[in-house]
Amino acid sequence: MKILGLNGWETRGHDGGASLIIDGKLVSAVEEEKLIGFRHAYDTLPIESINFVLGENNLTLDDVDKIAIGWDYPYLYSLINQEFLSKEEVSKIIFNTEKYADKIEYVKHHDAHAASAFYPSRYKDAIVLVIDGQGEIMGTSIYIANDYKIKHKVMETPVSLGYFYSAITEHIGFDCGEEGKTMGLASYGEPIYADALKKLINVDSDGNLNCVFKIKKTGKDEEDATIDKWHEFLDLIIDRREGKIKKVTDDIKPYADLAASAQSVIGDIIVELVRNTYQKYKIQDVVIAGGVGLNCPTNTMVENQPYIQNVFIQPAANDGGISLGAALYVASKNEKNLDIDMTAYLGPEYTENEILESIYKTGAKYIKMNYRGEEIANLLNNNYIVANYFGKLEFGPRALGNRSLLANPKEYDMLVRMNQLKGREVWRPLAPIVLYSKQKDWFNYDKESLYMIKNCLVNLFNKENIQAVTHVDNTARIQSVTRQSNSQLYDILNEFYKLSKIPVLINTSFNIKGCPIVNNPADALYSAKKMNIDYLALGDYLVDVKTIDYKDIIEDLSENRKVKLKVR
């Protein structure tokens, strides 16, 4: 059976994409934003994503058995006394024909999130926690999975930890969508406002998640109304600020304290929800999905509980993974042998000829690398920054080696330089990749962390050798690397270790500020030049970035990058 999973719609849609399950196996997945160059792909149909996952597997829509959409739109619209479009109309809008209407199945949003987390985990039994902004109406849900199947939902509430954290983010002065900055800023503060926040949102003695206010449902979602209401209550604790935070100075410290307080509260709430569920069902493995699943300190707090054995979060825990979840939900109802071998590397890959054609158009100087790992490692050991572009595009918001900027982690100055060329605030942390075989010698964590989605303490006796990836609180958000997980990245890291005796590198996403992670070779060449990277390892070719002239590849760029180029 061939199941196409989709997310993305013309109104109030975001983080769209497509995934494809064939005979119980995951074969392709991609987010629309990376194909069109438009962050979050707001109010956009996942047309390019559909074209990719089908084309990659030599299929057409006629070959697809079911089309799973990760929102139950008829139910959502019924909540506001409106009627949604017929399946024929939906088919015509997405596919330009009504003929695929009978293949469409709607999946409730949280059911899709839950499936996206549980089935790739390969756990037999699990507590399945969904924490995001909002589904059709619910903000937080808990499911129980037994015998490799999600069996039933045991808790759901409209109370949204996602909207709470977004409101905190805005109150600090960041934009909604910049919750990662709040997570980083929290390490500079103390949770002095935690008690005040717990009076507003908490878990009661009966295990219910409560919020001090309720918002009436009047539209497709209540994001704006909920966040506005949060600001009213947060104003009673600390005045809302505006503007960027260039440095964490004394006047910023109260907002770092607010971030630390929110981080503490959200972690405590999630741990309490998990503890209550464990006490009832005695299940020791946990999977987490929803945008809050990208909160690394919280994931680690859950895993550190003595009654929990394992915590799994797939790389696209946010709504970027909803297409995967929708496909998996429908597959779980129709496939006898659902066998998901999860990997992040599920997107487009470009041929050597396509790479060379893009290089030729720029007139850049380049060489073919005979020993790719050795040559890149040598550059990194000499403190050059290398944009690494190889193999399939990652699925999810974090670059995991195939579309990454790599650098030497030894000196703090490299953190400053990397953040500056990416247009990031200097106080924000950079994440490390580490050889898994050496991980426990450098970090206080001995499990694989393949998706850069958990954090841990840096072993202090090695801190001076990895200053650029050690955050102010002595933590790091690690990505474990094995030969099996990513052989080309392993080779670079292993060769760097031979040269430096440090089994760690800086890894941050290869993208211009405001743009998604690069997709095609033209995007890579353009972005490397605009960011002033030292070298671009494009497939098997090493490009001297300063020699790139990108005027002849403009038509090959995604639309958003063309706009940025013309403006500049």
How many other C-beta atoms can be found within 10 angstroms of the C-beta atom of residue 240?
Answer: 13
Residue 290 belongs to a domain? yes
Whichever domain contains 516, its CATH number is: 3.90.870.20
Residues 100 and 183 in one domain: no
Residues 309 and 330 in one domain: no
Per-residue pLDDT at 562 = 58
DSSP E strands: which ranges in 163-313?
201-203, 209-211, 285-289, 310-312
Residue 167 belongs to a domain? yes
Residue 559 belongs to a domain? yes
* Band (567; pLDDT cuts 50, 70, 90): very low
Residue 121 belongs to a domain? no
Residues 389 and 538 in one domain: yes
Mean pLDDT across the chain, nearest whole number? Answer: 96
* Residue 183: both structure tokens together: 């997570």
Residues 380 and 521 in one domain: yes
* Band (559; pLDDT cuts 50, 70, 90): low
Residues 466 and 371 in one domain: yes
**Helical axes 161-172 vs 253-281, angle rounded to 10°:** 170
Residues 10 and 30 in one domain: yes
Residues 300 and 325 in one domain: no
Whichever domain contains 60, its CATH number is: 3.30.420.40
Of 285, 305, 334, the residue that ends a domain is 334
Residues 82 and 205 in one domain: no
* Band (557; pLDDT cuts 50, 70, 90): confident
Place of tokens 């039994």: 125
The distance from CA 326 to its chain's CA centroid, rounded to whole angstroms, is 17
* Band (561; pLDDT cuts 50, 70, 90): low
| CA 188 – CA 43 distance, rounded (Å) | 36
Per-residue 3-state assignment (H helix, E strand, C coil) for 22-89: ECCEEEEEEEHHHHHCCHHHCCCCCHHHHHHHHHHCCCCHHHCCEEEECCCHHHHHHCCCCCCCCHHH
Is 398's pLDDT higher than 80?
yes
Complete edge-to-edge strand list for the sheet that includes strand 386-389: 366-368, 541-544, 535-538, 386-389, 403-407, 504-509, 431-435, 479-481
| CA 212 – CA 24 distance, rounded (Å) | 44
Residues 91 and 172 in one domain: no
Instruction: Calculate mean pLDDT across residues 265-269.
Output: 98
Is 257's pLDDT higher than 90?
yes
Residues 457 and 418 in one domain: yes
181 contacts 425 by C-beta, under 8 angstroms: yes
Residue 368 belongs to a domain? yes
How many other C-beta atoms can be found within 10 angstroms of the C-beta atom of residue 482?
Answer: 15
Residues 526 and 391 in one domain: yes
pLDDT digits (tens, 9 = 90+) for 340-389: 999 999 999 999 999 999 999 999 999 999 999 999 999 999 999 999 99
Is 523's pLDDT higher than 50?
yes
Torsion of CA 460, 179, 162, 214, to 10 degrees: 120
Domain extent, residue 325, equals 2-110+321-334
Of 276, 302, 334, the residue that ends a domain is 334
Give every CB contact of residue 41 below 8 A, 6+ residues apart in sequence. 8, 13, 14, 15, 16, 17, 31, 32, 33
Residue 231 belongs to a domain? yes
DSSP H or E run through 147:
none
Residue 448 belongs to a domain? yes
Number of domains in the chain: 3
Residues 380 and 311 in one domain: no
Residue 278 belongs to a domain? yes
| CA 431 – CA 419 distance, rounded (Å) | 12
